[in-house]
Structure 1
């Protein structure tokens, strides 16, 4: 029996025995399933926070300050990108992702307390912590790409991102129950539910094996698994396309709840439209993965940005629930295609360069919220 020297590096808890093909495939498939569930819970918290933060702020402040909590959440995503990459790489995926989820649990609780006590500064700090958690959550899709060699390339990324559809399907029902329990403190229940989603995420990531990244001589790397070549131009194009889609998505999510409220749409209609948007953000990823294998990930990313632009154009002129729903659906689906396509292109980069990519797309999202704030 020969041992791989790379598999015996200090600080890495790995099996040094030759891997069995069948057991390896089962382990990787299980890992992708766990990543999908973890990403779904992270997306549930994100969707709840995106909907409740501007509406909670509306009860405390006015003007451009309404979207400051949403902006701080996105700042948290950008700030966490590089530390998240380093921690997931050196501590291990379980420990790194659990640490990120802990930030989210604390942030959701702080937002709920700020709402009940009407302390806006507390809401702002909690929103930033929720953003830190989302910064760690971005690495679920990169981890999927890292183990995609035997599962089906970019399909693994699509399966994980598609797990976010859980948020749109279960979100409205869970949020309604949480709000009923927290009455008369409007939106506090949703904030506590966002915190609970991160607590559940900690339990889910405990199911992952304790390895950091797969170390196996002869295993295909992430770039070859996803069928990409990491040229500088392709990476720059993918990052630009994803950043544009994130700009439109974040701006739409920030502006839509306030826009619908201004058009006289009831809270139930607003929650339903945002839930549809979340489903549209994640469910198309199940299709985007196989399509990217056929036509190329950059093509998928470009098509996604065009769809998001079309949705934004419709949303600017929307005055009814149906109009907002159509706009949010197109924006969400476009974001999904752009994210899956771009993730496939950057697969195989170093953790530091992946962090820079995520920081760039988070910067695009922050710009979208800033535009929405000044347009409000």
Structure 2
């Protein structure tokens, strides 16, 4: 496996560590700075907006100028966003802080291309394993992220959240130095006579539509139930320590399977792995509706992480069979845009869903789109030979 893949896995670990750190503190900072309860989640919403805004331009930029240029720019924006957020904290300005989280969201959106960059430096046989290795970086983040959020509270007197953003600043500096040292793909060279298809023509491919739907719906359901679980657990009277433990095991469930997901794709095909992911997500829902004990929440969130891992990595690999070299930036960009837009919608619907539908019916409501994706992927099984990778 190329050294660059290992470097990208570490970069992914740094990115995810920063994400978890932000999840731990952004809402609390919003509560501290907001003049009205409705404004508490503005920094989180701005982070998602920044992520969504960056996906298409980042993919096209890397297609034209190469991966390294794109990632250096993304991490530089992250450094700027961290500095702006710190100024917002110092000034006790919610809007100033939210501008910072918007810029950090753009950096996160650019970093989501790490897994695609790993594909560029591998041969076809190594691609499933390369995706898995990069995603496995999240295991380190599952340990570092929550602990960094706790340790950083002691770094500065006066405001317990300032240290978190100095920690985030260091993360982006390390990522910038790491990316600068890696050999990554340069701009994609246009093959004479090769024409890039329009979005309309690309979306005439059932495989592309089904692949994007798999990644988007799998991610949306994961974010929906992950975000709703702490609310449901709090309503059931569980202490914060129980909630934090459940979330940490969920994150491990998201990334630990990455050690063998690539092997499963090579052995059985990415479609099979996506179908297994849908089945595991459905099992998560079943556990949730059967009870609301601590062990129900713990098991369901672990299953939620595993199901997301299978659908996300499977869809990432399957996507590589839907575009020509000249269309790489276009297809990867629209995939990221739609996947993370779906994730943002899932996060926004979580609190409302628990309040209006209740925990039981929120879980039931997540099943129809899941069943639809499973049916769609299964209906394309006759094309399995096209995307199966021989080990």
- Give the shorter-chain TM-score range: 0.7 to 0.9
Alignment partners' CA distance in 2, 1:67 and 1:321: 27
Aligned pair partner of 1:288 in 261, 273, 279: 261
1:196-220 deviation digits (Å, cap 9, x = unpaired): 22221101101212641587x9xxx
Aligned pair partner of 2:45 in 67, 71, 76: 71
How far is 1:296 from its partner?
1.4
How far is 1:359 from its partner?
0.5
Aligned pair partner of 2:342 in 364, 367, 372: 364
Alignment partners' CA distance in 2, 1:199 and 1:321: 39
Matched, 1:234 2:207: yes
My pick for the range that moved more, 68-77 or 81-90, is 68-77
Residue aligning to 1:152: 126
- SS state at 2:183 partner: coil
Equivalent pair of 1:54/1:258 in contact (CA under 8 Å): no
Equivalent pair of 1:248/1:309 in contact (CA under 8 Å): no
Residue aligning to 2:149: 175
Equivalent pair of 2:64/2:188 in contact (CA under 8 Å): no
The alignment's TM-score, normalised by the length of structure 2, stands at 0.76
1:94-130 deviation digits (Å, cap 9, x = unpaired): 2210111122233234334434543221232222112
- SS state at 1:164 partner: helix
Cα pair distance change 1:177/1:316, threshold 3 Å: farther
State how 1:39-188 maps to structure 2 within 5 Å: 39-61=12-34, 63-149=37-123, 152-188=126-162
RMSD: 2.9
Alignment partners' CA distance in 2, 1:309 and 1:56: 34
Equivalent pair of 1:112/1:189 in contact (CA under 8 Å): no
Alignment partners' CA distance in 1, 2:286 and 2:157: 37
Alignment partners' CA distance in 2, 1:239 and 1:48: 28
Aligned length: 337
Residue ranges of structure 1 left out of the alignment (5+ in a row): 1-27, 218-229
1:42-89 deviation digits (Å, cap 9, x = unpaired): 111112222322233233446554433323222222211111012222
State how 1:267-306 maps to structure 2 within 5 Å: 267-306=240-279
Aligned pair partner of 2:280 in 307, 330, 339: 307
Alignment partners' CA distance in 2, 1:191 and 1:262: 31
Residue aligning to 1:24: none
Residue aligning to 2:301: 328
Alignment partners' CA distance in 2, 1:54 and 1:85: 29
Matched, 1:243 2:221: no
Alignment partners' CA distance in 2, 1:189 and 1:327: 33
Equivalent pair of 1:108/1:127 in contact (CA under 8 Å): yes
Alignment partners' CA distance in 1, 2:108 and 2:225: 18
Alignment partners' CA distance in 2, 1:154 and 1:301: 13
How far is 1:254 from its partner?
3.5
Alignment partners' CA distance in 1, 2:301 and 2:254: 9
My pick for the range that moved more, 354-363 or 249-258, is 249-258
How far is 1:152 from its partner?
1.9
Residue aligning to 2:330: 352
Residue ranges of structure 2 left out of the alignment (5+ in a row): 192-202, 356-391
